[in-house]
Structure 1
Amino acid sequence: MREASILLLRACLALLAMPIYLLSFLGIWQPFCKKVFFPYFLEKFSAVHERKTKKHKQELFCNLSDFKSPSGELKLLEIGTGCGANFQFYPPGCKVTCSDINPNFQQALSRSMNKNQHIHYERFIVAAGEDLNQVPSGSVDAVICTLVLCSAHNVNGILKEALRVLRPGGAFYFLEHVAADHSSWQYFWQQVLYPTWKLVFDGCCLTRETWKNLEAANFSELNLKHFRVELPWMPIQPHVLGYAVK
């Protein structure tokens, strides 16, 4: 009965979103989404999400300086930099390499960089998180990844790359929205919305249990916390955050 209800509601939602499905079939939606819609949406959404998660991020990134290299430098690699929402939380003087598979965030990213002159921006890499071959192995002290794994093609591939580029003792920081409890109504609606949401929001998956990937990765230590972000009418309230040490 539950499965039938999900399928019926998915069909109704698909009818409402038919213009987007048609544009996708014609090959028009994806380029428009990546170049125009999603960069615009992400900048607006990031501002709201930032207000809701600011205290969580302050607590999450407060020990970044503990992972400085023996030379005293702190080199960060951010996967899926987007609009640069995390820059304000990085320690002064750290060196940041930004990466994103979508190069169309430049205007918002430039504004964020101008607001956060306390850090040194080394370079911007256009690359998927699963293929960071431009970053040498063992060359960074910390990898940052927030609201990225939900839309990754291969979550385990990103974690593998993070382990590769981290020096021994380096840390992988994460904050991601995840699937709700399977017995909850929120998970029911995540399942209903899943196909259309993924299409509209550039591959974002609502039902990923990302904590399981983190637990199965080859980190020596994992600090993980489940929490909720109060985003009314949004199906992405359950989150996980924490850091894992190589």
Structure 2
Amino acid sequence: MELAVFLLRLILGILAFPVYLLHFLGLWSRICKQFFPYFMVRFTAMYNEQMASRKRELFSNLQEFAGPSGKLSLLELGCGSGANFKFYPPGCRVTCVDPNPNFEKFLIKSVAESRHLQFERFVVAPGEDMHQVADGSVDVVVCTLVLCSVKDQAQILKEVRRVLRPGGAFYFLEHVAAKPSTWNYFWQRVLDPVWFLLFDGCNLTRQSWKSLEQAGFSQLQLQHVQAPLSWEMVRPHIFGFAVK
């Protein structure tokens, strides 16, 4: 099995040689940063159609974490184009964080279409270092399809806990590694190196639930599900929320 993974990875690596060359020359990351938002706008529209019921279920109790004023202060980590806005409760105060400034024009469009929200600001920063956001300043942090591509999950979750107020919650919806005994996991391993380059650092084989279990939250509600998606490789998902 390991030999098969190696040989198939080698074949894919040869086919993707131009991408590897651009990566070696330091050009591929610039191309991704510029054009990846256009792909994500299309992908997240499709993803929302297929995952709408799951997102509504996930975000159904967001308002329960609102502070004393009754207004929910929410920070979305890796906000992208703002695809989650439609699922947030009316009056929600939203701060967005993303390391790619090229998402801003798509985010502005989503803000204009989401009159039920109170948009506060867009912070260009990696999730591992959100120093622009004060300690204990938000009720809820949300990230969807983000933990697959961050450089340091443990540091991200440490930052999430820092910006959350005591009793605040972290909501997540992430694709993860399939069960090791499945063919899906075999193909995830085969595709992972090329997938990582083509999709701006996305990993197919991350076991993100382990990082969440070790992050030090006082409460963790996490479910493993098979998402009803067209792409078999990203069907294994986890979703839920963790309380600080």
Q: CA deviation at 1:198?
A: 0.3
Structure-2 residue corresponding to 1:195 = 193
Tell me what 2:5 maps to.
6
1:80-229 equivalences under 5 Å are 80-229=78-227
Deviation beyond 3 Å, 4+ runs, structure 1:
none
Aligned-residue offset at 1:234: 4.0
Matched residue type, 2:11: C
Instruction: Give the SS at the match of 1:235.
Output: helix
Q: For 1:120-159, what per-residue CA distance to the aligned partner results, in whole angstroms no more than 9, with x for missing partners?
A: 1100100111111111101100000110000000001111
| Partner in structure 2 of residue 62 of structure 1 | 60
**Structure-2 separation of matches of 1:128 and 1:150:** 14
Deviation for aligned residue 1:100: 0.2
Structure 1 CA distance for aligned equivalents of residues 87 and 46 of structure 2: 16
Of 90-99 and 106-115, deviating more is 106-115
The equivalent residue for 1:74 is 72
Distance 2:196 2:231 in 1: 17
CA distance in 2, matches of 1:234, 1:35: 27
In structure 2, what residue type is equivalent to 1:19?
P
Aligned residues of 2:51 and 2:228 also touching (Cα < 8 A): no
Cα deviation, 1:63-97, whole Å, max 9, x if unaligned, reads 00000101222100110000101000111111000
Cα deviation, residue 233, structure 1: 4.0
The structural deviation recorded for 1:230 is 2.6
Relative to structure 1, the CA distance from residue 114 to residue 179 in structure 2 (aligned partners, 3 Å threshold; closer, same or farther) is same
Q: Which of the residues 49, 52, 57 maps onto 1:51?
A: 49
Look up the SS of the partner of 2:102 in the other structure: coil
Distance of 2:110 and 2:188 partners within structure 1: 31
- Say if 2:17 is the partner of 1:18: yes
CA distance in 2, matches of 1:77, 1:245: 15
Instruction: Give the superposition deviation at 1:228.
Output: 1.3
How far is 1:231 from its partner? 2.5
Q: Normalising by structure 2, what TM-score?
A: 0.98
Q: Which runs of 5+ in 2 are unaligned?
A: none
- Matched position secondary structure for 1:225: strand
1:34 aligned residue: 33
Distance (Å, rounded) in 1 between the aligned partners of 2:126 and 2:92: 23
* 2:57 partner amino acid: E
| 1:5-49 residue CA offsets vs partner (Å, 9 max, x unmatched) | 00100011111111111111222111011111x111111111111
Aligned-residue offset at 1:232: 3.0
How many residue pairs match? The answer is 244
Identity %: 57
